[in-house]
Structure 1
């Protein structure tokens, strides 16, 4: 039983006790008053009637006529005349009660009324004794009417008191509701803070819970800063602040193996040919300052695009990874202009050659073939001299004009949505004991008898702005599979699911229609999109979790400084990006990074899974670091 219910019962019981006591006292007072008044009336009437009969000479006939006439008025229950010896001379008695009061009321409140008595004389001799009793039905009628009116007044006052008490109780318990909401939020791993109420007891509780939330958020922020420092020290060039060669190539490899919107894009490579001569001419300190400008310029480009990455591969080579960019010339110009303007702005020479190479990568390419294409293209650019861009691709179809490719894919996707040509594949996420946690469910497109992977068509879905329609299709496919007995499914959402205001109402309505399936559904959003649209991501999480859906963030690790912002979202799990997992058994720096990341996740009750695990060695070290599960080519379900 809730505290609110108990308080209501206590208030009602108290009001009933008070009103019942008041009602009883009022009833007894009214009863006593009526008894006293009727007894006095009986005495007065008996005396007056006896005096009148005495003055008339006490004739027997006249006595009987007078007493009968008096009885016939209907106001008396009993009129009798007794002889001096006690014999009944005249008796009139009404045995019928015509009272409106119910019998239970008459029995509950009996009126104890004294009869009126007076002596009738004839001269000096006593004729007899007159006994008179007024009819009690009038008293019971009056008492019953008074009781009804009093009860009605008490009921009205009780209702008014309950109404006022309810408002007061609501005001008093409002802080308690806030405390309950905060406690439930903490239970859902949302460490929120609420204003402290004025009520002392509630204030102490809220203050303690706010301190808890504040400490957890502070720990998250501190750990996020530590993680960022680990990452900077291990994976970034100290001069430019850009990624080093090894972590950058791992990011490229992860993109090549991914099965989402980032599986297609471009990679650009820019070389500063005279860097060694510039160091000798201007000094290392000056050129380090120029390189810092180059790093800042490339980071500005990266900051405007999710999952883009820039790297200093070696002393003079700079690379730009641009997922979802299908125009290699355009992205190469961005990198070339950023580096060229940084050099020109410092006035360290106007004839500095910046040969540039660019290629398109696609799902299934390998690092070796990609680097080979870039090296060949860079060699051609160096042969041409100056600041030229050489573009190389795997097939000529990739160089078709973007407009033409867009039109082709628009027709393909329109047909696919109309014919419902989408389906799901399933890849397991396994726990520490090899148990299935859930199946990742990337979407597939059936086109000309071939099932296209998500990495092939998702970039075009994104460019054609039909991501929301695909998200709805994906969720419906997942719910249908779950309704047919599938194991738990994790579906990947696009940014459209967060930014489009109509998606959340649709999602809640759809989940409400399949409550059992909803409890086995997981929804994920990429790290970059979650942090970029954090304020819109929160209501999506809360709305989905209200139907039992688990919420997670995938590709975690690129924005570690933002982890402190996750304290009040209520996530269920994080998935570490494959670029940090690759060769983790041989990478001490990333081991420290992931161990701390797992500790941070567990401190707020969030499970941590690893993406892209390729072999048993990686999985073994991940378990030692604290990972709760993993997915990837190296993970297989038992049997």
Structure 2
């Protein structure tokens, strides 16, 4: 029972006690007063009537007429006259039961008034003894009316006090609502803080909870900074601040094996020709400063796009991985322009060549094939002494113009949404005991007899701004599958589900209409989108978790500095990006990174899963590091 109900019951009980006490005191006092008044009236009326009878003489006819006339007034229950020897001379009695009040009331509060007694004389001789008893029905009626009036006053007072008390109670307990909301948020892994109320007891509770939330945020922020430092020390070139070759190659490999919007994009190389000669001419310290500025400019480019990455592959070669970029020249031109601008600022651009090569990669390509065609195009440019940008096509097959491809894919997707050609594939996520955690369910497109992977059509869905429609489609597919199989199922959401206001109400209605299925639905949002639109993501988390659905962040590890923000989001799980999982059994730096990441997640009750696990050795190492589960090509359910 809630505190509000208990307080109201206490107030009602208190009012009932007050009413009962008031009722008893008032009614008993009124009964005593009426009883006394009736007794006095009986005595007075008996004396007056006896005096009147004395004046009548001893004539029995006159006595009986006088007594009958008095009794007929209806105010008396009993009038009798007895001779001195006790013989009944005249009797007038009303044997009808008293009315004017309920029987239970008269039984509960009986009125026992004393009879009026007086002697009737004839001269000095006693004629008889007169006994008179007034009717008590009038007293009961009056007592009952006063009791009803008291009850009405009490009810009116209860209504008024209930309204006023309700407003006062609402104001007093307003801080309690905030405390309850904070407690519920903490239970949902959202460690929020609220203003401390003025009420002492509430203030003590809120202060303790705020202190706990603040301490957790501080710990997470501190751990996020440590993780970022470790990542920079292990993965970042100290001169330029760009990724080293090894982690960059792992990012390319993860992109090629991914099955989402990042599975297609461009990879661009720019070579700073003659770097060795420039070191001799300008000095290594000066050139290191120039390379540092070049690194800052390239990082500025990639920071404008989610999941883009820049690297210094070797002394003079720079690269940018640009997922979702359909124009291969875009990143290469930005790289050339930024490097040229830095050299011009230092008056070092004269005679310096910046040959570049770029290509489109797609799901299923290999790093070897991509780098081979890029190196060939770059070498050809450098030999010709040019700063041109060569586009390295796969197998010398010229790509269709982007506009033509967009028109083609727009027709494909419009018809596919209309005919609901989308399906889901299922890949297990297993726990530490080889049990099923849930199925990852990437979208597939059935088109002209072929099943297209997400990596083939998602870039065009994103480019044509149809992501919201696809998010709705995959949620509906997952809910229907859960209703059929009962298996927990995870689907990926795009940035549209986070930023579009209409999606929040749509998914709320969907989950409410399918309450049982919603409990087995898992939703995943990419790390870059979750942290870039943090407030909107919090609203999405709050809405879907209210229906029992689980929500988490996938591809975690690229924005470790933002990890402290998960303290008040309320996510259920994190999925570590495959680029950090690759060869984890032989990568000490990434082992330290993932061990700390798992510890941070567990400290706030968040499960941590690994993506892209390929070997048993990787899975065994991840278990030692504290991962709660894994998915990938090397993961399967036991038969």
Match of 2:531 in 1: 531
Match of 2:209 in 1: 209
**More deviation, 127-136/21-30:** 127-136
C-alpha contact (below 8 Å) 2:98/2:136 kept by paired residues: no
Taking the aligned partners of 2:404 and 2:100, their CA distance within structure 1 comes to 97
C-alpha contact (below 8 Å) 2:340/2:349 kept by paired residues: no
Taking the aligned partners of 2:53 and 2:516, their CA distance within structure 1 comes to 96
Taking the aligned partners of 1:244 and 1:533, their CA distance within structure 2 comes to 29
Superimposed CA distance per residue, residues 347-383 of structure 1 (whole angstroms, 9 cap, x where no aligned partner): 1232210000000000000000010011011012213
Match of 2:601 in 1: 601
Which structure 2 residues correspond to residues 211-610 of structure 1 after superposition, within 5 A? Answer: 211-394=211-394, 399-610=399-610
Taking the aligned partners of 1:180 and 1:248, their CA distance within structure 2 comes to 47
Taking the aligned partners of 1:490 and 1:115, their CA distance within structure 2 comes to 92
Cα shift at 1:345: 1.6
Cα shift at 1:268: 0.5
**More deviation, 554-563/168-177:** 168-177
Superimposed CA distance per residue, residues 530-583 of structure 1 (whole angstroms, 9 cap, x where no aligned partner): 000010001111111111111110000000000000001111110110111111
Taking the aligned partners of 2:556 and 2:78, their CA distance within structure 1 comes to 101
Cα shift at 1:59: 2.7
Query: Cα–Cα, structure 1 residues 217 and 514, in superposed 2: closer, same or farther, change >3 Å?
Result: same
Taking the aligned partners of 2:448 and 2:74, their CA distance within structure 1 comes to 108
TM-score normalized with structure 1 length: 0.98
C-alpha contact (below 8 Å) 2:545/2:551 kept by paired residues: yes
Cα shift at 1:165: 2.9
Query: Cα–Cα, structure 1 residues 98 and 35, in superposed 2: closer, same or farther, change >3 Å?
Result: closer
Superimposed CA distance per residue, residues 4-47 of structure 1 (whole angstroms, 9 cap, x where no aligned partner): 33332222222111110111100001101111111111111111
Superimposed CA distance per residue, residues 89-124 of structure 1 (whole angstroms, 9 cap, x where no aligned partner): 111001113512111111111101011112221122
C-alpha contact (below 8 Å) 2:42/2:132 kept by paired residues: yes
**More deviation, 83-92/561-570:** 83-92
Taking the aligned partners of 1:349 and 1:389, their CA distance within structure 2 comes to 18
Taking the aligned partners of 1:629 and 1:525, their CA distance within structure 2 comes to 18
Match of 2:193 in 1: 193
Superimposed CA distance per residue, residues 374-421 of structure 1 (whole angstroms, 9 cap, x where no aligned partner): 101101221332321001121566622111110000000011111111
Taking the aligned partners of 1:332 and 1:231, their CA distance within structure 2 comes to 26
Taking the aligned partners of 2:590 and 2:243, their CA distance within structure 1 comes to 14
Taking the aligned partners of 2:578 and 2:276, their CA distance within structure 1 comes to 35
C-alpha contact (below 8 Å) 1:612/1:633 kept by paired residues: yes
Which structure 2 residues correspond to residues 144-155 of structure 1 after superposition, within 5 A? Answer: 144-155=144-155
SS of the residue aligned with 2:451? Answer: strand
Cα shift at 1:486: 4.2
C-alpha contact (below 8 Å) 1:193/1:213 kept by paired residues: yes
C-alpha contact (below 8 Å) 1:360/1:398 kept by paired residues: no
Taking the aligned partners of 1:396 and 1:481, their CA distance within structure 2 comes to 43
Taking the aligned partners of 1:337 and 1:617, their CA distance within structure 2 comes to 44
1:620 pairs with 2:616: no
Taking the aligned partners of 2:591 and 2:599, their CA distance within structure 1 comes to 12
Taking the aligned partners of 1:598 and 1:621, their CA distance within structure 2 comes to 13
Taking the aligned partners of 1:496 and 1:520, their CA distance within structure 2 comes to 22
Match of 1:34 in 2: 34
TM-score normalized with structure 2 length: 0.98
Aligned residues between the structures: 639
C-alpha contact (below 8 Å) 2:100/2:138 kept by paired residues: no
C-alpha contact (below 8 Å) 1:612/1:631 kept by paired residues: yes
Q: Which runs of 5+ in 2 are unaligned?
A: none
Taking the aligned partners of 2:398 and 2:292, their CA distance within structure 1 comes to 34
**More deviation, 76-85/554-563:** 76-85
C-alpha root-mean-square deviation of aligned residues, in Å?
1.3
Cα shift at 1:155: 1.9
